[in-house]
């Protein structure tokens, strides 16, 4: 495929007639699938907001709730630092938490493959119970289906969550303003590289574990200390770059980050260099990104660093009034590059 005027320079295809792994990447193909297929089919006023959770008003005087759902197909099911059960609870809890809601209830649906050891399922269930206790949520209903041997991949889990908004709280990825600062709550890329290390048999001098964790406590601490926070997101599929691009497009602003400010573990950086990956695209499952007015940024950073899940937090960039819809990065050598959203899949089946 070529674009007239650009010679033979190839550009990524988007006009596929079958589902690819890239349609689950959280990148451009995912956005195309939602925008061209799902929204025309289902999009109502609440769905088209495209936030991590839908915000629903329960009639006059009924308050507001956050409502979200997510499916988890990670391979392998057990990985350093977690498993598919903990991932399923934390992923949905975090979507509620970064919307500004207090997570309350979860539902879980299991698709099990014939032959799955009951001991493994028992470990997954115990892990989910522990994660629920850690997050302060209750799993109240669910469903189970079994598919033929060879027709699944051990176990898939879908979790749906409901949270309650405190009065007056309203976060949105459309709220960023030029001059705002961008905070990330810790090191990026840990989850994706931990999964990849198991798949590829990569060994490090220290054990690299997934960062999967429930963020409800951290989010509540941040919003209590700094109610001026404009928006929060957890950079899962598509990584930090995916969230920053969503922010730039939704708020119609530019986003500029500084590479030297990005917190990245040495072993994650080394693995990415070895495998040809960019850590800004690697998934996380226990980190959040927050946009905050500049006057409150340093105070928020100090608050986050006092929390056990925020010790490596950093201010990584600024919202600008130039290049609306684009994310740029000042490189380590002082140059500047555009950080686009990925067209396809860098690492499939990571969440």
What is each CA distance from 220 to 86, 124, 204, 307, 324, in whole angstroms? 20, 27, 34, 11, 30
What is each CA distance from 10 to 13, 143, 230, in whole angstroms? 9, 46, 38
The Cα–Cα gap between 229 and 100 comes to: 10
End of a domain among 164, 192, 226?
164
**Same domain for 60 and 147:** yes
What is each CA distance from 161 to 73, 95, 121, 211, in whole angstroms? 18, 9, 21, 21
State the 10-residue block means of pLDDT for the chain, 351 residues long: 46 77 84 89 73 84 90 95 98 97 98 97 98 97 96 96 93 96 98 89 80 97 97 95 96 98 94 90 97 98 98 98 95 93 78 88
**Same domain for 186 and 334:** yes
- 284: which 2 tokens? 């996380």
End of a domain among 140, 164, 188?
164
Exposed e or buried b per residue across 310-334, where buried means at least 16 C-beta atoms within 10 angstroms of its C-beta: bebbbbbbbbbeeeeebbbbbeeee
Least Cα distance to 154 among 90, 83, 86, 82 occurs for: 83
**Same domain for 212 and 85:** no
**Same domain for 186 and 155:** no
3-state helix, strand and coil shares in percent for the chain, rounded to the nearest 5: 35, 25, 45
The predicted pLDDT at position 129 comes to 98
Least Cα distance to 242 among 340, 173, 314 occurs for: 340
Q: Judge contact between 100 and 165, C-beta under 8 A.
A: yes
238 in a domain, yes or no? yes
CATH number at residue 96: 3.30.1330.10
Residue 259 DSSP class: G
350 in a domain, yes or no? no
The predicted pLDDT at position 5 comes to 46
Q: Judge contact between 138 and 106, C-beta under 8 A.
A: yes
**Same domain for 234 and 127:** no
Query: 3-state class of 225 per DSSP?
Result: helix
The Cα–Cα gap between 166 and 100 comes to: 8
Least Cα distance to 89 among 215, 185, 232 occurs for: 215
**Same domain for 225 and 192:** yes
- 167: which 2 tokens? 């009065």
Instruction: For Cα atoms 203, 205, 211, give the angle at the middle one, nearest 5 degrees.
Output: 75
The predicted pLDDT at position 3 comes to 43
The predicted pLDDT at position 13 comes to 64
**Same domain for 204 and 62:** no
The Cα–Cα gap between 345 and 23 comes to: 8
175 in a domain, yes or no? no
Least Cα distance to 245 among 257, 262, 230 occurs for: 257
**Same domain for 142 and 90:** yes
The Cα–Cα gap between 233 and 136 comes to: 20
For residue 208, what are the domain limits? 180-338
Query: 3-state class of 284 per DSSP?
Result: coil
CATH number at residue 264: 3.90.650.10
**Same domain for 332 and 189:** yes
The pTM for the full model equals 0.91
169 in a domain, yes or no? no
351 in a domain, yes or no? no
**Same domain for 195 and 307:** yes
Maximal CA-CA distance, the chain: 60
344 in a domain, yes or no? no
Q: What contacts 54, CB < 8 A, 6 or more positions away? A: 46, 47, 66, 67, 68
Interaxial angle between packed helices 294-305 and 216-225, expressed in degrees from 0 to 180 and rounded to the nearest 10: 140
Cα 101 to its chain centre, rounded Å, is: 16
Q: Judge contact between 305 and 311, C-beta under 8 A.
A: yes
**Same domain for 213 and 149:** no
Q: How many domains are contained in the chain? A: 2
138 in a domain, yes or no? yes
What is each CA distance from 304 to 137, 226, 288, 308, in whole angstroms? 22, 10, 11, 9
347 in a domain, yes or no? no
**Same domain for 294 and 199:** yes
- 263: which 2 tokens? 């917190």
- 25: which 2 tokens? 């990447």
End of a domain among 132, 164, 196?
164
């Amino acid at each position: 495929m070529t674009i007239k005027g650009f010679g033979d320079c190839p550009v990524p295809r988007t006009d596929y007639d079958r589902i690819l792994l890239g349609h689950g990447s959280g990148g451009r193909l995912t956005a195309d699938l939602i925008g061209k297929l799902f929204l025309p089919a289902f999009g109502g006023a609440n769905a088209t907001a495209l936030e991590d959770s839908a915000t629903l008003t329960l009639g006059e005087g009924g308050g507001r709730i956050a409502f979200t759902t997510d499916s988890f197909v990670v391979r392998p099911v057990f990985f350093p630092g977690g498993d598919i059960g903990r991932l399923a609870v934390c992923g949905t809890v975090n979507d509620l938490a970064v919307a500004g809601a207090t997570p309350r209830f979860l539902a879980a649906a299991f698709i099990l493959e014939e032959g799955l050891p009951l001991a493994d399922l028992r470990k997954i269930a115990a892990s989910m119970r522990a994660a629920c206790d850690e997050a302060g949520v209750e799993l109240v209903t669910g469903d189970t289906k079994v598919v033929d041997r060879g027709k699944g991949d051990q176990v898939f889990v879908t979790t749906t969550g409901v949270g309650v908004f405190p009065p007056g709280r309203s976060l949105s990825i459309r709220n960023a303003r030029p001059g705002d600062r961008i905070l990330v709550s810790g090191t990026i890329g840990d989850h994706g590289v931990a999964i990849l290390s198991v798949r590829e048999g990569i060994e490090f001098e220290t054990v690299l574990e997934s960062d999967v964790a429930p963020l409800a406590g951290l989010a509540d601490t941040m919003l209590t200390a700094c109610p001026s926070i404009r928006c929060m997101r957890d950079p899962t599929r598509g990584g930090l770059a995916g969230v920053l691009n969503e922010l730039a497009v939704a708020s119609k602003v530019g986003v500029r980050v500084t590479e030297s400010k990005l917190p990245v573990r040495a072993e994650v950086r080394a693995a990415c260099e070895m495998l040809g990956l960019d850590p800004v695209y690697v998934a996380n499952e226990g980190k959040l990104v927050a946009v905050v007015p500049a006057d409150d940024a340093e105070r928020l950073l100090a608050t986050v660093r006092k929390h056990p899940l925020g010790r490596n937090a950093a201010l990584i960039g600024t919202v600008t009034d130039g290049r609306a819809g684009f994310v740029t990065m000042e490189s380590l050598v002082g140059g500047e590059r555009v950080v686009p959203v990925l067209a396809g899949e860098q690492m499939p089946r990571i969440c």
